[in-house]
């Protein structure tokens, strides 16, 4: 079964969207019979990947289709339960690969919610009625403000360790300590307490922001949302941009979009991704860009590349090498780049630019070898050059081949490459690249707006190497064959470690340290074995643990 990440509100089975001026309400009301695959019921607002696909779609529509929305209330449509977290039956029957991809996508959606105020001027408020357990509390943790109903039953918990022998899979441990700043010993108690914590104790421990009596909730939320909305810079009456279904063509050996062509070579374990530059000149200003709406080239590219990354991750598991090329007019790309850079005060251009930032972060945490190749006719310039710097290795073709009338490969750096598109570590990709070579970083910055050919790019350290027409084909072939011969597990661990040099942030902890441990624990017999906690949960039989510490 091909997992499709495209959906829309008229086909949602698990979420409702309601709008009241600057306030939107996102209601989680999971259809128990609406699992992505057969074999489990999504009881008590528990979720699987299908539920999260709809949530991500809702998050993106709130950004683009509803510029008037400044506050989002996240609520449950079920009595006495907020969310029971990831569905245990789903986890117990899923392959390890699916569990990892599920947790990664869920994490990325949580991060998008978390960055919504900085990126979009939208704040999320979780209203917890009943139980918020495991991933349900982790969903609330991603919001800016948590309101817990004070009714002697509503509670928050992270019971994965005592009940399931795994960890909270979407950043719960890290957000409790780093974001909520819960004291370490209290966090230890909380994460080993099956029944969770409620009422004033949850406030005192900073697990939630406040408790409110159910009888006062409506008035309290009116005041809270009004205060939050007054501090947002989103426009009151702007026209939104509808996000229709993507036009895609799937074949046995590839996928075609309007801005991308993907060729699949399963024998070589490789996906070749060709990014097509703009097919028309950039609009004159922000108003003209908004008029183009979903056809605005950078937005088209973001949507299609985002979908392509998710498709390849979930459905093409053995294609461990992604080869990234581009073709088009670099001068046109640079005009789009300048429009985005100078238009960040405009809500629409800001959303598009930050969508590119998030899409590049999705590249950064993808467990595939990324090889970028700049050949004659390429258009890696400005924000598009970030694809070169996101790659594990990058190579440029020197000059042109005889009979090839395409222009030689060049790079052009702009201010977009020096800060506004950070990785999860808070640094730009060039800062991360030149972490121990600040002179190299300064030299690269001095080249802003210059056309940099392959040999100059090698001298500046902007690419791994450059080759002429005599060596290009053999060097790239040897590189790809060597890469394909290595253990995928070893490469995944190596690449993830090397990509995130520099400072550790909450985001790198979640995708690096926490995810690595979670992935390992997911495979251990204590969790996933025949006598492990995931399979024994709900049976009335206790799990049998191997007591050795490793």
pLDDT higher than threshold 80 for residue 361: yes
pLDDT higher than threshold 80 for residue 526: yes
pLDDT at 17 (0 to 100): 98
pLDDT at 149 (0 to 100): 98
Q: What is the pLDDT of residues 93-132, one digit of tens each?
A: 999 899 889 999 999 999 999 999 999 999 999 999 999 9
pLDDT higher than threshold 90 for residue 513: no
pLDDT at 79 (0 to 100): 94
Domain ranges in the chain are 9-229, 249-498
Secondary structure of residue 57 in the 3-state scheme? helix
pLDDT at 147 (0 to 100): 98
Q: What is the pLDDT of residues 362-403, one digit of tens each?
A: 999 999 999 999 999 999 999 999 999 999 999 999 999 888
Secondary structure of residue 28 in the 3-state scheme? strand
For the ranges 171-185, 463-477, 524-538, the lowest mean pLDDT is seen at 524-538
Give Cα separations from 344 to 116, 119, 350, 359 (angstroms): 15, 10, 5, 18
Q: Supply the DSSP symbol for 381.
A: B
pLDDT, mean of residues 314-319: 96
* Superfamily per CATH, domain 249-498: 2-enoyl-CoA Hydratase; Chain A, domain 1 (3.90.226.10)
Q: What is the pLDDT of residues 448-479, one digit of tens each?
A: 999 999 999 999 999 999 999 999 999 999 99
Q: Which of 75, 160, 261, 351 is catalytic?
A: 160
Name the average pLDDT for the chain. 95
pLDDT, mean of residues 46-61: 98
Give Cα separations from 255 to 133, 156, 312, 367, 501 (angstroms): 39, 43, 10, 20, 33
Secondary structure of residue 169 in the 3-state scheme? coil
pLDDT higher than threshold 80 for residue 514: no
Residue 75 is among the residues annotated as catalytic for this protein: no
pLDDT higher than threshold 80 for residue 516: no
Residue 160 is among the residues annotated as catalytic for this protein: yes
Tell me the C-alpha distance between 538 and 536, whole Å.
6
pLDDT at 34 (0 to 100): 97
For the ranges 12-21, 166-175, 458-467, the lowest mean pLDDT is seen at 166-175
pLDDT higher than threshold 80 for residue 19: yes
pLDDT at 134 (0 to 100): 96
Give the model's confidence band at 550: pLDDT under 50 very low, under 70 low, under 90 confident, else very high: confident
Pairing of strands 155-157, 131-133: parallel
Q: Which of 68, 114, 138, 304 is catalytic?
A: 138
**Residues in the chain, overall count:** 550
* Superfamily per CATH, domain 9-229: 2-enoyl-CoA Hydratase; Chain A, domain 1 (3.90.226.10)
pLDDT at 288 (0 to 100): 97
Beta bridge partners of 261: 256, 274
pLDDT at 519 (0 to 100): 80
pLDDT higher than threshold 80 for residue 86: yes
3-state secondary structure 278-343: CCCCCCCCHHHHHHHHHHCHHHHHHHHHHHHHHHHHHHCCCCCEEEEEEECCHHHHHHHHHHHHHC
pLDDT at 210 (0 to 100): 98
Are 105 and 48 in contact by the 8 Å Cβ rule? The answer is: no
Give Cα separations from 242 to 64, 97, 456, 459 (angstroms): 7, 34, 43, 45
Tell me the C-alpha distance between 250 and 262, whole Å.
10
pLDDT higher than threshold 90 for residue 46: yes
Beta bridge partners of 198: 155
Q: Whole-model pTM?
A: 0.96
9-229 and 249-498 share one fold: yes
pLDDT higher than threshold 80 for residue 515: no
């Amino acid at each position: 079964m091909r997992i499709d990440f495209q959906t829309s509100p008229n086909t949602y089975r698990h979420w409702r969207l309601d709008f009241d001026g600057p306030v939107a309400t996102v209601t989680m009301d999971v259809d128990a019979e609406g699992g992505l695959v057969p074999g489990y019921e999504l009881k008590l607002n528990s979720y699987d990947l299908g539920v999260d696909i709809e949530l991500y779609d809702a998050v993106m529509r709130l950004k683009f289709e509803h510029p008037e929305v400044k506050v989002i209330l996240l609520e449950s449509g079920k009595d006495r339960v907020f969310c029971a977290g990831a569905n245990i039956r789903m986890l117990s029957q899923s392959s390890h690969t699916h569990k990892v991809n599920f947790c990664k996508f869920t994490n990325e959606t949580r991060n998008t919610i978390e960055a919504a105020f900085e990126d979009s001027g939208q704040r999320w408020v979780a209203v917890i009625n009943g139980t918020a357990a495991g991933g349900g509390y982790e969903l609330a943790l991603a919001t800016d403000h948590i309101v817990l109903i004070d009714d002697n039953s509503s509670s928050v918990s992270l019971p994965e360790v005592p009940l399931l022998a795994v960890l909270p899979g979407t950043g719960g441990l890290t957000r409790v300590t780093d974001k909520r700043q819960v004291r370490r010993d209290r966090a230890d108690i909380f994460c080993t307490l099956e029944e969770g914590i409620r009422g004033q104790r949850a406030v005192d421990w900073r697990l939630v922001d406040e408790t409110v009596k159910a009888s006062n909730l409506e008035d309290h939320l009116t005041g809270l949302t009004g205060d939050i909305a007054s501090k947002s810079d989103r426009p009151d009456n702007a026209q939104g941009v509808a996000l229709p279904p993507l036009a895609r063509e799937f074949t046995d050996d590839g996928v075609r979009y309007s801005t991308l062509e993907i060729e699949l070579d399963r024998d070589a374990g490789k996906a070749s991704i060709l990014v097509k530059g703009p097919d028309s000149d950039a609009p004159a200003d922000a108003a003209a860009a908004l008029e183009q709406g979903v056809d605005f080239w950078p937005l088209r590219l973001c949507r299609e590349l985002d979908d392509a990354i998710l498709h390849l991750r979930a459905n093409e598991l053995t294609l461990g090498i992604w080869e990234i090329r581009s073709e088009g007019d670099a001068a046109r790309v640079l005009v789009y780049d300048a429009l985005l850079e100078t238009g960040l005060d405009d809500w629409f251009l800001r959303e598009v630019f930050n969508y590119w930032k998030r899409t590049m972060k999705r590249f950064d945490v993808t467990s595939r070898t990324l090889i970028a190749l700049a050949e004659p006719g390429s258009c890696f310039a400005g924000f598009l050059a970030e694809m070169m710097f996101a790659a594990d290795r990058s190579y440029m073709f020197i000059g042109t081949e005889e009979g090839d009338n395409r222009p030689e490969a060049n790079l052009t750096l702009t201010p977009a490459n020096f800060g506004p598109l950070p990785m999860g570590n808070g640094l730009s990709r060039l800062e991360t690249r030149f972490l121990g070579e600040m002179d190299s970083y300064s030299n690269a910055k001095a080249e802003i707006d210059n056309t940099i050919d392959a040999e100059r790019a090698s001298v500046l350290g902007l690419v791994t190497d450059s080759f002429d027409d005599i060596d290009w084909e053999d060097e790239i072939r040897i590189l790809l064959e060597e890469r394909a011969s290595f253990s995928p597990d070893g490469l995944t661990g190596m690449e993830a470690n090397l990509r995130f040099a520099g400072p550790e942030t909450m985001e790198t902890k979640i995708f690096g340290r926490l995810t690595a441990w979670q992935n390992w624990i997911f495979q251990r017999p204590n969790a996933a074995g025949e006598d492990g906690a995931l399979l024994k949960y709900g049976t009335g039989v206790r799990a049998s643990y191997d007591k050795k510490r490793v």
